[in-house]
Amino acid sequence: MSDLQHHLNIKRGDVGRYVLLPGDPGRCEPIAALFDNPRHVATNREYVTYTGTLDGVPVSVVSTGIGCPSTAIAVEELIKAGADTFIRVGTSGSIQTDTPSGHLAIVTAAIRDEGTTSHYLPIEFPAIAHPQIVDALSSAAKTMGAETLRGVSQSKDSFYGEVEPDRMPMASRLKDRWLAWRKGGAICSEMEASALFILSAIYGARAGGVMHMMGVGPDSDPGREKLLSTAVEALRVLIRQDKEEVLWP
């Protein structure tokens, strides 16, 4: 029986253990261009896969599409294909009112304000990034000269529920909850991190996330460039650490 994964159209050997996960399929090629010897592996639906190397180690980039359902499918199939280390690379809206646009959010945990992960674990179970990934992203951001915030993200199911709450039948509830996230100190809002963190917890994988934040003031193109370079540098940090762990007597 073929081990070709149904949605990603990949199999073992097609991807490395280290995978960057943008939502947008169009972001895969620019990320892959930062790898050594990148090659296109597969395209199917919202899923685009490239694989290359960093420091001689296979690494991949796979788009997840928008939201937790498609992200969960991607992570399930990537784990079956042998991946075990994931970094979500995306954009997000800032939750705090004084966050400048272009800062990077290094996500430490995610609010499970979506429906997908309740099919995996009770809602009381926290969606937490792996500390090694968080530290690698922080180190990489410093190397790249990126401005960052570390903190909690809100993972939601409705984009327009965030950006146009007043036209929603549940406007008051949406705005009350948004205020609660802000008062709780959450730093950004996106649509995928909680699924990535919950599935990684279940399957013993490592996961984290770095987001370009849309906040106060004009958007920053250098911020977007530093998003990609920070994510790739974080993979280099993890590769070095993993090599050292294997070689440690």
φ and ψ at residue 56, rounded to 5 degrees: 80, 5
Judge whether residue 98 has pLDDT over 50: yes
Q: What is the pLDDT of residue 221?
A: 63
Res 1 pLDDT > 50: no
Residue 241 to residue 247: CA distance in whole angstroms: 10
8 A C-beta contact, residue 207 and residue 130: yes
Mean pLDDT in residue range 216-227: 74
Lowest mean pLDDT among 138-147, 185-194, 206-215, 218-227: 218-227
pLDDT reported for residue 222: 65
Q: What is the pLDDT of residue 101?
A: 86
Confidence grade of residue 2 (pLDDT, cut at 50, 70, 90) = low
Element (H, E) at 175: helix 171-183
Task: Decide which of 219 and 81 is more confident.
Answer: 81
Question: E strands of the chain, at which residues?
Answer: 18-22, 36-44, 47-54, 57-62, 85-94, 104-113, 127-128, 148-156, 188-190, 206-214
**On the CB side of 186, how many CA atoms lie within 13 Å of its CA?**
23
Candidate from 1-15, 44-58, 120-134 with smallest mean pLDDT: 1-15
0.85 surpassed by pTM: yes
May I ask the CATH class of domain 18-247?
alpha beta
Q: What is the chain's mean pLDDT, rounded?
A: 95
Q: How confident is the model at residue 220 (pLDDT cuts 50, 70, 90)?
A: low
Give residue 245's pLDDT band: very low, low, confident or very high (50, 70, 90): confident
pLDDT digits (tens, 9 = 90+) for 149-206: 999 999 999 999 999 999 999 999 999 999 999 999 999 999 999 999 999 999 999 9
Give 6-31 pLDDT, tens digit per residue.
999 999 999 999 999 999 999 999 99
Q: What is the mean predicted confidence (pLDDT) over 223-233?
A: 91
Q: Specify the pLDDT at position 118.
A: 98
